[in-house]
């Protein structure tokens, strides 16, 4: 078994695509129009373009339980996803300059350094640097 695609719920697919590509630096992999203006829309790491795809899933717009789940995770400050980086501090500085809002600044928590930001699409995302 292997993981090919995993999804993250987003409130607006185009806004999410813009944020994940223009700000975070991911690359659009698949963009297929579906019904009701939705898309099968995935992004990948520019460093692993044949790696796991992240599906920008418009579930909160169409499935109330996923909307509640997303909102409650966000309120509780729980990250929806973790992205690993070489340097949390460098990414924090780069993203802050681009206007990204962090709820947790770079913090050493023992075996890793973390930071948490708002992806502007309804999710908290945690950056992780392994020490």
Domains of the chain (ranges; CATH) run: 5-130 (3.10.180.10)
pLDDT of residue 41: 98
Q: How far is CA 129 from the centre of its chain?
A: 16
Question: What is the pLDDT at residue 56?
Answer: 98
Nearest-angstrom CA–CA distance, 116 and 41: 24
Could you give the CA distance from residue 131 to residue 45 in angstroms, rounded to a whole number? 21
pTM: 0.95
Cα–Cα distance measured from residue 27 to residue 54, given in angstroms and rounded to the nearest whole number: 10
Of 1, 126, 119, 127, whose CA–CA distance to 56 is shortest?
119
pLDDT per residue, tens digit, the chain (131 aa), is 999 999 999 999 999 999 999 999 999 999 999 998 999 999 999 999 999 999 999 988 888 999 999 999 999 999 999 999 999 999 999 999 999 999 999 999 999 999 999 999 999 999 999 99
Integer Cα distance of 86 and 62 in angstroms? 36
């Amino acid at each position: 078994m292997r993981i090919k695609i995993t999804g993250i719920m987003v409130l607006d697919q185009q806004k999410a695509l813009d944020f994940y590509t223009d700000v975070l630096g991911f690359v659009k992999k698949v963009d297929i129009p579906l019904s009701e203006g939705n898309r099968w829309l995935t992004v990948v790491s520019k460093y692993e373009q044949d790696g796991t795809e992240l599906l920008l899933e418009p579930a909160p717009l169409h499935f109330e339980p996923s909307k509640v789940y997303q909102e409650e995770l966000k309120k509780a400050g729980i990250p929806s996803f973790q992205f690993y980086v070489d340097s949390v501090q460098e990414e924090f500085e780069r993203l802050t300059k681009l206007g990204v809002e962090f709820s947790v600044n770079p913090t050493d928590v023992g075996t890793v350094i973390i930071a948490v930001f708002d992806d502007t699409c309804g999710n908290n995302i945690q950056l992780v640097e392994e020490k």
